[in-house]
Structure 1
Amino acid sequence: MRIAVATVKGGLDDFVNQHFGRTPTFTIVDVENGEIKNVKIVLNPSASSPRGAGVQAAQFCINEGVEVVIAGQFGPNSAGVLQAAGIRMISAPATMTVREAVETFLRGELTQAVFSSEGGRSYGGGMGRGMGRGMGGRRGEGRGEW
């Protein structure tokens, strides 16, 4: 089983980062027969991306062959991509090291994911997206009308 953990510096002794999409590094842990066999620290290529960091980070994890991702929280876009790929999302507190998070998950004690709303902003839903509410104010800018 391959597990990616969101981290700041990386490694088994680093703590779980609370932000999946913009985490600076991922610590990728290979587990065989319930034991950690290999650890790899990789930079998150989307950490400083101006937009779409969560989706890009999710695609990166897919490309790495990850089956489980551990972070503090997951945004709605990254969660959708991970879920569509069949990757399990698990949340762990910021006080937990990578080693503790992986071992706790393997014992079945970490089972749920926490989803954020991207800093309180809500994307999509509501009006718009083709719902035709026409809130232009009848000024006709660019058409010579007033």
Structure 2
Amino acid sequence: MRVAVATITGGLEDFVNQHFGRTPTFTIADVEDGEIKSVRVVPNPGASAQRGAGVQAAQFCIDEGVDVVIAGQLGPTSSQVLQKSGIKFVSAPPTMKVEEAIRAFLRED
């Protein structure tokens, strides 16, 4: 399973960003058997878009083969794009670190 978390600087110790479409980075974690196996930090191509940032970010997640997106909130258009592609959205508070958010999702899934 591949999880993309909206982050500011990225990594497991960063906090979940509340803004999906304009998040500066995504921390992408590959999870197998309930364990985080690999982590990459990648820039969000939609972060500086004048329009359609959420859709660009959603398309990026689709292209990356993401199964789950974790962020504070999604806009309605990006939510529809992710939902149509079968990507699950999980909301997390800004006080939660990336690793905590992924582990919380795994416990609930």
Match of 1:104 in 2: 104
Match of 2:70 in 1: 70
Report the secondary structure of 2:74's partner residue.
coil
Give unmatched runs, 5+ long, in structure 1: 112-146
Using the alignment, how far apart are the partners of 2:80 and 2:33 within structure 1? 29
1:58: how far off?
A: 0.1
1:37: how far off?
A: 0.2
TM-score between both structures, scaled by the size of structure 2: 0.99
Among all aligned residue pairs of Structure 1 and Structure 2, give the percentage whose two residues are the same amino acid: 71
Match of 1:89 in 2: 89
Report the secondary structure of 1:46's partner residue.
coil
CA RMSD, 1 decimal: 0.7
Partner amino acid, structure 1, of 2:83: Q
Using the alignment, how far apart are the partners of 2:82 and 2:21 within structure 1? 12
Match of 2:48 in 1: 48
Match of 2:22 in 1: 22
1:100: how far off?
A: 0.2
Give unmatched runs, 5+ long, in structure 2: none
TM-score between both structures, scaled by the size of structure 1: 0.74
Which structure shows the bigger proportion of residues in helix conformation?
2
Match of 2:3 in 1: 3
Partner amino acid, structure 1, of 2:4: A
The structure, 1 or 2, with the larger RCO (C-alpha pairs under 8 Å, 6+ apart) is 2
1:76: how far off?
A: 0.3
Report the secondary structure of 2:89's partner residue.
strand
Report the secondary structure of 1:107's partner residue.
helix
Match of 1:12 in 2: 12
